[in-house]
Each structure stands twice: as structure tokens, then as C-alpha cells.
Chain A
């Protein structure tokens, strides 16, 4: 379509970064609701958008049967567009009906969509107005999960960024604290909390917290570690509140987890011997868990389609720890600053593509005949039918994959489709 090839950008490392534009087969940021509504247990996500938005969210999450769902859509109709109904009054009415039905809700997110952004409905102001009218029982915030502005996991970034200005202020004289940013599986969160505790880092908090009333405080003495690679805006607003980012690769695989933990430990001047002592058992278990997968993944040629921004750290893990070869690593968006530690670890000559031109990328994938293609569900079955083994990428967001004790599980996710192909006799 409108694909164009730009010369490799200057990256300061040996990785070739190319940008591509054209048709994109990715989710919009609304999809983040599917896991965020499970993480923050008393939050509700009200999308303000069209029937398409409602259809998207339920198609993604509706296979689960909900007695009480924690997301919904306020569907804009022709009366709203024609100006026959005041959209702000309509939104207030819909929100009241929702809160009456669900009095257990403590935090309500008004989530912007493409239609609400295009017609410039002022959701931040609506959130402010509604917050006042429901205070103190319900807090109302807003963020945009629209496809025109956000890709898949960027919805979480926008959501967390909306939370940051609301976080309690930590006093300037407060003791330094560590904030781990990015929604993690509860089990992973608990493991990281134990590890930091073992190193003597006492004040550790996680964003988002599991409950609306328990969100961490932030201030000039807050250091934060990103646990997820897609949190550009959240990091920016945390920095605006005086917090300092600790640069690190992301905690995927044994190497990534160690480097991530070490960055945190160094920032709190943890004795390297203590660090080695605390991390040794996890590291040993991770090595043990990863070993059997090296034979399955070693030498395999892997192709990543862009999806979640997890592609670079995952590719780094597969190549350095599993011995896989990288054909192409696609990513929807590349934050050069946050990704610098990852780029430095990728093998020289790795082809990184930011953005997408779907048909051209599929042509490259078909021509390369990779052993494993990491892609979204819209492409997975069609590529399988063409004889290519695929790993559907969305699962990587829904599965605990970070930390030492999940390193084996992470490798298994990639090995499983390959093993499956050897098992099936029909």
C-alpha cells in the first residue's frame, strides 16, 4: 500500500531498525481492558464509543461467562451525533445507571475510542465532573484506548498514566522507595516482592495495585523499574512527578530477570554478595527449567509480527538464552530510550521493523519459511494452513512469563507449537 523503506537508523548498536507503514493487523488499546479489569479488582471500564468497540471487547472476553462483568460500552447513537441529545448529560445518565447497578465499584475508567476522539468528546472533563458527583465512593478517571492513538498494550500505558496524577504524594524527605510499574500476574508480583525483600529493599510497591484504594504513593525519592516495555507515557508522567526511572532490560528469561533485578538492587546499593545470594536459588531453578527447551528451540528460525512491544525482549530471550535465530523482529512502536538495554543485547545484524505493512510483511514471512512465527490470532490459523508453525502472541500478555520461576513456562510457550506438530499424526 503505502509501504516505504527507510535506511537503517543510527542506533549506536549493530541492530538494523527499519520503519514501515501500511495496513496494520493489530488490536487497539481497548483490548487492555481484558486483563486490566481482572488486575484492579474494584475497577470498572466504561468504553465510550460505537457498537464496534462493544463488539471488540466482548469478542475478546466474552468466551468467559460473567455473572457480573466489569466492563461495558456507552454506545454513541445518531441522536448524540446529530446533537439532539447532549452527550455530556447522556454520559452522566448512563454512568449513574451503571453505578446504581454496581455499587461495589470504587474506580471507574471512562475509556475513549476512535469515535469519541474524532468527535472530540471531552472525557477528561466528564471524568472530573462525575468524580465530584460520586465522591467519595467512586473515583472517575479517563484515558484513550482508541485505535488511532494506541496499539494493544498501549491501552495499559494510557490507563496507568491516567492513574499517576491521582497517586498520593510521597514527601520530599521520605525514604527512597522502589516502584515496579506494569500489570503483572499476582504470582509474579509476589515473587518479585520476596526477592527485593530478601535484598533488604524495604519499600517496594507495584503499579497498578490490586485495589483502587491501595495505589502506591510517588515523589522525588521514588525510583521506578518498568516491568513491561510498553509504558512510555506512564514513565513520562511518573518522571513529571519527580520519580526516577531505573534503566534495565525487561525481566524475561533468567538473564533478563537477573539484569532487571540487579538494576533495582544497584539503585538501592544492595551488596553484590547479598544480591548473588538472594538470586542464586531462582537463577539455578530457571537454568534447570530452561535446559530441556534449548534442544527444542536452539537453531530454530523465528519471525515476529508486531503486536505488543514485547517482541524485542522476547527475541532477545529466544536468541541469547535459547539459541534461536531471528529472521525479523516486528514491533508496533519502538521507544529508543526504554529499549536501549534490550537493543544492546540483541545479536548483531538483527532486523528490527517498527510499524507494519501487512501484505509485504506476510510476503517476507512466507519467503523466509520460519520454523516459528509469532503473530496475532487473525494471522495464526491462515499461516498454519500454509504449513507454518505459529505462536499466537496475545497469550504472552495473559500468561505469567516474567521472573525466574516463569522462565521455563515462557520457553514452553514457544516450544509447545513445535512439539505439537511432532505429536500429531493426522
Chain B
């Protein structure tokens, strides 16, 4: 049993729903108890879709358990086929139905429907949402991708590719897709099929007709792309084009596979991020301590943007996607830190505290931690809530995505002048420690909020060390350090004192430690 305050991913059948809802002409019959229809709300409310997801639930109740739940399932499959007339169907069980073991695949097969019916085995007590999406997409591609078509020679026609990965309920998938299609069009590459987003089962049958595959979200589409590589010999591009550098690499790789010239696309200044980041206003961003957590795709990409394109210092990096732990560990090692690979919210909270971060880039869950610790925060990855399905165009990918990232990552921070003046004058009635950045007037403890100082819980002390006592004067001096680096200064000073076995921390110790560690 795992104590879970917040879960980063839903159960695997939610992943399957994300595939079914992204597609057209596909219906999902889910053996599930009454109540599991809450999942519809993710699509109709959080993503604001204007139609019900193409999912029929059996919604069995306790009184049905004594009777024939298998018959209820078969009735549901028949009724769904009659009503919706889909091109293909997927069938599976939710966590509770998995316990009663009705075998949806076998039951559906026995009905002998005149369409492909693909059974899903999604172990709800081992696997999670992204795995469920990946597995469902893979099963669909395997079942429907048809025979290898006769490809005409590359001469005299445009190169073509498939775009794989965008789903319903994906973090900015809608707008990422627009950016990527724009880039591919500018390169003169035709898009054969986008899947699962907007694709029908018949479209999946045409996947083999492309020259290569673009995998936008490896968590969801790597397995399917590997299958296509094996079956049709289609190479794949797996570079995730989030950030300026990654987008350039992506364009180059795609251009190489397509045999086209990337230079016109890369000429000039396709993104504003490099100039914004070089302009002197951004100098104060240098070395800001940032903690990054999310799905592997976004965590990896954002770590590179934060360090290489904004000049932050990455003091924490982690993911809840265990399948990609190796890549994340390798990236963390480049920053001289150890990756936080966990799906336990409390572990992430502890890691953020220990890292003394000034900015958290994470998921909806990290917003809870950041609120508790009084640290600025921006959302860069699923899970997210309704505010991260914006009406405006907000890609993460491509050159426009980099523009969006610059704004998103800088926005929660105190702006330069304010930060300076706070460091110089600390008793101002309006601009003071613990007041939120003034461009975020209503977030956190505003000037009108009751005076409540944000005291971050102490950083956990290793058991072998005893914390030296702070003299009152040193404690007072510590308060003169700007609040966003104060926790780090406290931890450093205590570490300094511990390593030297000092019993008391004086003003001198504080400045000795400052000189020792630098910033």
C-alpha cells in the first residue's frame, strides 16, 4: 500500500481513454463500476471538449456482482456497437473489474462483431496512465497498421512523415501539433497521418505509407514507432523539440531524414527567446536555483532550457516516469545532482525543500508544495488542471513554444528592480519580504493579507550532524538576506558550522560561510 496525497498519473484505463478520445471512429467499452464515469469530466471540463468521450461504461453495482456481470459487459458492447457504429472498438477493464476477472477480450470476441475489436490488458495495480496510453496506441497500431504499401521512389515527390503522440488531455498537445505541422510544412515535408490525435482506425491503416515517423511524446508513442520501424523500416525522430536548441536539432534531424535543406528555416531569428534571454534585463536570472519535476519528456527538455537558454542553475531534476529514469539520471548528472525518480509526492516535497530552490517548475502537484513552502512556481508538465488548457495559442514546442516558455518560466519570479530594492531596504510597508511579487498582486500573502510570515519548514538535518545554535544577532543578520535565498543561506551556514564543529553561529560564521560557498 502506498500513501498517496496526490497521484501524478491516473490509472492505465485513463491512458486508453486519452487515445480513444483523441481519435475518431473508435469506441471504448470499459468494464467498470458505477462512478468511474468521473473520467468523462477530465475531457468535458478540464479539456472543455464539446462531446462526450467515445466510452461506454458498464457501471455495475453491488447488486450486479451476485448476478452475471459478464452478460452486462456483453450487452454494453452490443449496444455500443449498434448505437455508435464505430470503425473499430477497444475493450478492457478498470481496476475493480480487473478483480472480478470477466475477460472483456474473450467476451467481446464471442459476439463476433463485424469490426476489429482490440482487447486491452492494462494491469491497474502495476501500471499507470502513460503506460496505458502507450500500450493502447501500440495495440491499435499493431492491429490496424495494415500491410506494407508499395512506396514510390523519393524522386519527384515530397517526402512524407507521420506525427505520433498527441492525445486528448495532453499538456499543450493541441498547440504543439500546430507548431510542428508549421515547421514540417516550411521544410516541404508532407504529413501522412497524425495519430492518435484526430486519426480514425482507417488512418492508422495508412501509417506505412510515410517515409519516417516523428515521435513528439516518447512516453506515448515510442512503442508504436518502434513497431513501425521494425515492420515497415520507418526510421523515427525522437528529439523532442522543446526549447530553441532542441528545436534546431529536431529540424536538422527531420531535414536529414527527408533529404531537404534545413537552412532557410533556421536562418534569421526564428525565436525571440535568445534575444530576450541575452538582453540585460535577464541578467538577474543568472544562477537562479530551479527545481524541475514532471513527465520525462518535459522535465528533460525544460532542464536544458533552464540551464542553457535562461542561465538558471538546475538544483533538482526528477520525473515520475520510471520508464525514462535512465535518461533523466544522465541529465541530472550533467548538472552535478542526483535525479529524483519517484511517484511519491512526499518525496518530491522533501527534495524541493532540501534543494533550497528559488523557483519550482513542475506539475499541478508541485503547485501545492510551492504554496506550502512559499516558492514561486510554474507548470511545465501534466498532471495539470483546467487553467493549463488555455484558449490562447500556447505551445511548448518549436520556436513559438520557446517564446511561451520564456514568459512562463520568468513570470512567477520577482522582477529585477523589486528584487534589488528588497535587498537594500527591508522595512518597507508595501514591498517587503513575504509579499508576493507586485505583478502577481493577489497570489500568496499580498500586502493586504494578514501579516503572516512564510516560514519554510526546516531542511531535514542528517542524523549525524547537530545544528549549532544561532545567536540572536546572527539570526537577525540572516533576515537581511533576500528571502528567496535565505533558506539556502541558512542551510549553508549550518552545514559550514557542522563541518567545523562550531557550537554557535555568529554574524561572523554567517559571512565566513558566505565566503566559503560563494553563491
Contact = CB atoms under 8 A, between A and B. Distances in A.
B96 interface: yes
Interface in B64-91: 64-65, 72, 75-76, 79, 83
Contacts of B385: 62-63
B5 A69 contact: yes
Interface residues of A, number: 66
B263 interface: no
Residue of A75, A90, A98, A384 ringed by the most chain B CB atoms within 10 A = A75
A73 B7 contact: yes
Contacts of A63: 385-387
B60 A378 contact: no
Contact of A52 (B64, B95, B368, B372): B95
A87 interface: yes
Interface in A103-162: 114-115, 117-119, 146-149, 151
B4 A52 contact: no
Contacts of B79: 1, 359
Contacts of B126: 77-78
A384 B45 CA distance: 12
B192 interface: no
A60 to B, nearest CB: 7
How big is chain B's contact interface, by range?
Answer: 35 or more
B128 to A, nearest CB: 7
A261 interface: no
B6 A23 contact: no
A1 B35 contact: no
B51 A385 contact: yes
B493 interface: no
Contacts of A52: 10-11, 13-14, 36, 94-96, 124
Contact of A94 (B1, B7, B10, B367): B1
B37 interface: yes
Contacts of B72: 1-2
Nearest to A385: B50
A368 interface: no
Residue of A26, A52, A56, A72 ringed by the most chain B CB atoms within 10 A = A52
Given A1-B79, A51-B7, A74-B1, A151 B34 contact: yes
A127 to B, nearest CB: 15
B40 interface: yes
A66 B372 CA distance: 8
Interface in A34-54: 48, 50-52, 54
Interface string A228-246: 0000000000000000000
B83 A359 contact: yes
B44 interface: yes
Contacts of B371: 65-67
B431 to A, nearest CB: 24
Given A26-B37, A28-B34, A50 B56 contact: no
B41 interface: yes
Contact of A27 (B35, B62, B346, B372): B35
A66 B364 CA distance: 11
Residue of A58, A66, A81, A151 ringed by the most chain B CB atoms within 10 A = A58
A342 to B, nearest CB: 24
B125 interface: yes
A170 interface: no
A66 B371 CA distance: 7
A51 B94 CA distance: 10
Contact of B11 (A25, A27, A55): A55
Given A25-B40, A63-B386, A147-B33, A75 B50 contact: no
A291 interface: no
B52 interface: yes
B59 interface: yes
Contacts of A72: 3-5
A267 B95 CA distance: 49
Given A52-B124, A63-B385, A74-B1, A149 B10 contact: no
Contacts of A119: 99
Contact of B1 (A24, A77, A146, A384): A77
A50 B35 contact: no
Contacts of A376: 41
B368 to A, nearest CB: 5
Interface in A370-400: 376-382, 384-385
Contacts of A359: 79, 83
A87 B76 CA distance: 34
A81 B368 contact: no
Given A378-B37, A378-B40, 7 more contacts: A23-B76, A51-B10, A67-B372, A77-B125, A98-B3, A118-B65, A379-B52
21 contacts: A24-B34, A26-B35, A29-B35, A50-B95, A51-B95, A52-B14, A55-B10, A56-B38, A62-B383, A63-B385, A74-B1, A94-B3, A98-B3, A101-B346, A118-B96, A148-B64, A149-B62, A377-B41, A379-B44, A382-B52, A385-B51
Identify the 10 closest CB pairs spanning chains A and B, nearest first.
A28-B35, A147-B35, A378-B40, A385-B50, A50-B95, A90-B1, A114-B96, A55-B10, A67-B372, A148-B62
